[in-house]
Amino acid sequence: MEAMYIYIGLAAVFGLFMAWGIGANDVANAMAASVGSKALTIKQAIVVAAIFEFLGAVLAGGEVTSTIRKGIVDSNLMSGEPELLIYGMLAALLAAGTWLLIASKNGWPVSTTHSIVGATVGFAAVGIGIDAVQWNTVGSIVMSWVISPLTAGFIAYFLYQSVQWLILRHEDPVARARRYVPVYIFLAAFTVTLVTILKGLKHVGLDLSIEDSYLLAFVLAIVIAIIGAFFIQRIEPDRNAEKSQHFHTVERIFGVLMIITACAMAFAHGSNDVANAIGPLSAVISVAQTGMVSAKSSVSIWVLVLGGVGIVVGLATYGRHVIATVGTKITQLTPSRGFAAEVAASTTIVIASGTGMPISTTHTLIGAVLGVGLARGIDAIDLRVVSRVLVSWVVTIPAGAVLAILFFFLFRAVLP
């Protein structure tokens, strides 16, 4: 009985640490385009993320989550020794959280999913055996390093080119913005609403078919576009500001749009990626209480709240480092550029949800930001920053694995 409380207590602490890492790194990615384009200040971004990430995590974070994320390990192989799963999941949480702390401190935007994947692969390979790891799944995750940023970058490139072609290169860009930005609002609202429905509401019991999901997103997008058009018409040009910055009023119009996308992306992200922290935590609680290994484990509301709190605190305390990298250091963002990046990222997530393409939110957004930068020319991108980011991506899975192996042996030696 005493051992059960030790396991659950450690899992809660390490789960909170992992959720903190998600907030410091992944949430910072979701907010970076809005902050880098100055549509939101850092304080406003923290408030938006605090509200919508927490709501996403608690309301839609999942009543049931897979014991082992992404089907990487065959859990049946541990049925005879359930304590192995406890040691492994504790090691995975602490390892992934530690790597996210290192990455966030250095401003490296890495994938929280890949961090927990690497850690899980590490403990499974040494704790159970090489054959216990589903290497096909790991291979598809490695493929996503290339697929998701390329897809998002391609979409962002052409989206920002269309902004330049339809609005920025004309004599009266404000009039063109009033005409075309409602269309972009519809596009943004449709893709982000679809992301929220497909990725953010699947756990609430809202079991909509693909057709119903698209129809609901279409209707909501039209409503949001009409509301957006109303506010756009009320924005008066500031002639003094236009003298120092030619597109000042146009960027204000796009700024309205950026706030909407930031809220929706935060909700969808909170509901989806909180599982990286609470999945292993729920697994430990389930095994500690029942003594049995199960493929699925129910999630208590306190676990969801713990995940939500950790994410918010992580963003508030350490998020600024990754926000600086993604929002300002890779390429200079404005609301129109940030809009192209966020819509491209959310569109890629929609495509991935529909096709089963392996994806990382982090890699997708970085690819989209690079695509916007390329639309302005290769000189608009800081290639030294990009090279450091790419190295951190490649290192993430091995780093998580090595740390998890060390912690696994430590816990097996020390814990009852």
What residue segments make up the domains of the chain, in order of their start? 2-144+173-319+396-411
Q: 75 is written with which tokens?
A: 């859990």
Burial of 229 (0-12, 13-18, 19+ CB in 10 A): middle
* CA gap 106, 87 in Å, rounded: 29
Question: In Å, how far from its chain's centre is CA 295?
Answer: 25
Q: What is the pLDDT of residues 293-328, one digit of tens each?
A: 665 556 677 877 888 888 889 988 888 888 888 877
The full DSSP string for 328-396 is: IISS---HHHHHHHHHHHHHHHHHHHHHT----HHHHHHHHHHHHHHHT-GGGS-HHHHHHHHHHHHHH
The residue ranking higher by pLDDT, 264 or 97, is 97
Lowest mean pLDDT among 165-174, 273-282, 291-300: 291-300
Confidence (pLDDT) at 27: 81
Q: What is the mean pLDDT of residues 116-133?
A: 83
Would the pLDDT of 170 be above 70? yes
- SS3 label, residue 44: helix
The answer to whether 387 and 170 have CB atoms below 8 angstroms apart is: no
Q: What is the mean pLDDT of residues 23-50?
A: 83
Which among 1-15, 125-139, 252-266 has the top mean pLDDT?
1-15
Q: ∠ at Cα 349 (345, 353), nearest 5°?
A: 170
Confidence (pLDDT) at 158: 92
Confidence (pLDDT) at 99: 94
Would the pLDDT of 249 be above 70? yes
Q: 190 is written with which tokens?
A: 């449709």
Q: What is the mean pLDDT of residues 83-104?
A: 89
Which among 20-34, 146-160, 201-215 has the top mean pLDDT?
146-160
70: left (phi over 0), alpha (psi -120 to 50) or beta: left
Confidence (pLDDT) at 267: 75
Confidence (pLDDT) at 71: 63
Confidence (pLDDT) at 20: 93
The answer to whether 92 and 396 have CB atoms below 8 angstroms apart is: no
Would the pLDDT of 220 be above 50? yes
Burial of 74 (0-12, 13-18, 19+ CB in 10 A): middle
The answer to whether 22 and 100 have CB atoms below 8 angstroms apart is: yes
CB atoms near residue 391 (< 10 Å): 11
Confidence (pLDDT) at 246: 66
Q: What is the pLDDT of residues 42-68, one digit of tens each?
A: 888 888 888 888 877 777 665 444 545
Q: What is the mean pLDDT of residues 71-89?
A: 72
Lowest mean pLDDT among 252-261, 332-341, 397-406: 252-261
Would the pLDDT of 203 be above 60? no
* DSSP H helical ranges for 202-334: 210-234, 239-244, 248-273, 275-290, 301-324
Average confidence score pLDDT of the chain? 80
